[in-house]
Homo-oligomer: A and B are copies of this chain.
Amino acid sequence: MRKPLLLWIACCTVQLSWAQQDDSLTIRRLSDEILTNGKAYDDLHTLTKTVGARLSGSSQMVKAEAWGMTALKAAGADKVYEQECKVPHWVRGEKEQARIISMRRDFVPPLNVAALGNSVGTGPKGITAPVIEIRSFEELELKKEEIKGKIVFYNYPFNPTFVKTFRSYGDAVRFRGAGPSRAAKYGALAVILRSMSHSTDNHPHTGSTRYNDSFPKIAAVAIGLKDADRLSQRIKNDPGMKVFLRTTCKMLEDTIGHNIIGELRGSEFPNEYITVGGHLDSWDLAEGAHDDGAGCVQSIEVIRTFKALGIRPKRTIRVVLFANEENGLRGGLKYAEEAKAKNEKHLFALESDAGGFTPRGFTMDMDAAKRSRIQSWAPLFLPYGIYDFSETGGGADIGPLHSQLGTPVAELSPDSQRYFDIHHAASDVFENVNKRELELGAVGMSALIYLIDKYGL
């Protein structure tokens, strides 16, 4: 499976040229500037500690937009503006309650749960019902007669054997997306979902669910991993037990949000755009430091670094802080819609939305010739620990640009081991971001933007 990666490294070795020496020196300047005078870490501190959590539609998101405008101006953008879009407005309501109700009347600590994003509440009185543990959709189908009137507990663990943790996420996340409606189809009253995580703690990890309108919308919560194991054990040992669950979350009317955009105007081709961005919104449980404060401040750092070094791009570089990735993707959709309506020429788009961890590569979604072109630059990235250009993928927010305008897209691919420890959980805080890891991601992004601006794609 890894042969292609090695083969292209082999190929680009042959193509190593003295012409790349100049680029190597410029990239070294980018790196030295970012590692010495970088502002990404300070920017992230301000975003996470003065704004904090910022779900689309919330008042904090308004503050975050103002922060984004200020930060882009401070970085030296020629032009900073808002792009209005409609965003979902989901609110969590009161702290979720979940506890085991047993005839044994022993003391059982409450279960640590968090409502899934976009989910409905249980109603103010909550729900008390028996719980059925389900480990696969196959098992759900086999037991469909037993579901009615119960709470379905999807207890599908992250597969630890995948080395890249996004594979574990991809494998498990279908239970979060489709699980509630598939359970509702057979009469379930609510869903408890094992969190999408490898963590060793007990934080629940939220994230969007998607209801199928054919079935009743039922309440759905994520549960921390330790409590998932505890609940599973209890179900086995105490067949008469029930769970009380109470959530008061609800979806309100769509409201107004904004993509925040800063431009560095191109000197030769001002009407050709290179987009680099992350999403400004975060879940409401935490500071959204890795997800995706990191991507925002790294993107801003690209402009700051170019300005600091006097690098004037040929094309217009647009930093976009997208309005609504977590529970709607409305920011990315709006950005592509506007680009299409204005018939803008988008040369390339880069996203950072996999955490501010030490970079290892870029995933790409583009035709083979463009992919090969970027891969030919790989030797320039190796001194920065960036070696893997083998995988396919672009970011969520620039996905619409790719699908609707055919724009070549790429995403920074950081080391993934710690991402799902904190993803969508209260532990996604500034303190869990390492300054240099964050900065090295910005180095890789700046270098790629520099090369694409210089050579085209």
A358: chain B residues at CB < 8 Å are: 358, 415, 417
Q: Would you call A387 and B384 a contact (CB within 8 A)? A: no
Complex Cα gap A12–B16 (Å): 18
Asked if A198 lies at the interface with its beta carbon under 8 angstroms from chain B, I say yes
Chain B nearest CB from A306 CB (Å) reads 18
Q: Give the CA-CA distance A41 to B417 in the complex, in Å.
A: 15
A343 to chain B, nearest CB (A): 41
- Copy number in the complex reads 2
Q: Mark A413-457, 1 if CB is under 8 A from B, else 0.
A: 001011001000000000000111100100000000000000000
Given known A10-B14, A35-B160, A160-B35, contact A379–B2 (CB-CB < 8 A): yes
| A9 is an interface residue with CB less than 8 A from chain B | yes
Question: B residues within 8 A CB of A383?
Answer: 1-2, 163
- CB-CB contacts below 8 Å: A352-383 with B: 358, 360, 379, 382-383
Residues 185-211 of A contacting B (Cβ, < 8 Å): 198, 200
A13 at interface, CB cutoff 8 A: yes
Minimum distance in angstroms from A123 CB to a CB of chain B: 39
Closest chain B residue, CB of each to CB of A32: B161
Interface string of A29-52 (1 = CB under 8 A from B): 001100110000100000000000
Which residues does chain B contribute within 8 Å of A5, judged by CB atoms?
A: 382
Residue A385 lies at the interface, judged by CB distance under 8 Å to chain B: yes
Contacting residues, chain B, for A163 (C-beta < 8 A): 31, 35, 383-385, 440
User: Which residues of B sit under 8 angstroms from A14, Cβ to Cβ?
Assistant: 10
Assess whether A125 is interfacial by the CB under 8 Å rule.
Answer: no
A179 to B7, CA, bound (A): 49
Does A252 reach chain B (CB closer than 8 Å)? Answer: no
A163-B14 Cα distance, complex, nearest whole Å? 25
A3 at the interface (CB under 8 A from B): yes
Nearest CB of B to A48, in Å: 14
Question: A6 on the interface (CB 8 Å rule)?
Answer: yes
Number of interface residues of A (CB under 8 A): 41
Task: Give complex CA distance A36, B162 in Å.
Answer: 10
- Residues of chain B within 8 A (CB-CB) of A440 are 163, 417
- Interface 1/0s, chain A 383-399, versus B by CB < 8 A? 11101100000000000
Bound complex: CA of A144 vs CA of B165, how far in Å?
Answer: 56
Chain B: which residue is nearest A161 at the CB level? Answer: B32
Instruction: Give min CB distance, A172 to chain B, whole Å.
Output: 15
Assess the A379–B6 pair: CB atoms within 8 A.
yes
Instruction: Determine whether the beta carbon of A35 is less than 8 Å from that of B161.
Output: yes
Max chain B C-beta neighbours (<10 A), residue from A7, A13, A36, A379: A13
Nearest chain B CB to A27 CB, angstrom units = 11
CB distance from A305 to the nearest CB of B (A): 14
How far is A371 from B379 in the complex, measured between Cα atoms in Å? 22
Docked pose: A434 CA to B14 CA in angstroms: 38
A165 to B360, CA, bound (A): 16
Specify which chain B residues have a CB less than 8 angstroms from the CB of A3 in the assembled complex.
Answer: 13, 16, 379
Chain A to chain B: the 10 pairs with minimum beta-carbon distance, closest first: A10-B10, A6-B13, A10-B13, A35-B160, A2-B382, A32-B161, A417-B436, A9-B9, A417-B437, A358-B417
Residues of A within 8 A of B (CB): 1-3, 5-7, 9-10, 12-14, 16, 31-32, 35-36, 41, 160-161, 163, 165, 198, 200, 358, 360, 379, 382-385, 387-388, 415, 417-418, 421, 434-437, 440
29 contacts between A and B (CB under 8 A): A2-B379, A2-B383, A3-B379, A5-B382, A6-B9, A6-B13, A6-B16, A6-B382, A7-B13, A9-B9, A10-B10, A10-B13, A10-B14, A31-B163, A32-B161, A36-B160, A36-B161, A160-B436, A163-B383, A200-B435, A358-B358, A358-B415, A358-B417, A360-B385, A385-B415, A387-B388, A417-B436, A418-B436, A421-B434
**Given A6-B9, A7-B13, A418-B434, 17 extra CB contacts under 8 A:** A1-B383, A2-B382, A6-B382, A10-B14, A31-B163, A163-B385, A198-B435, A198-B436, A358-B417, A360-B385, A385-B415, A387-B388, A415-B415, A417-B436, A417-B437, A417-B440, A421-B434
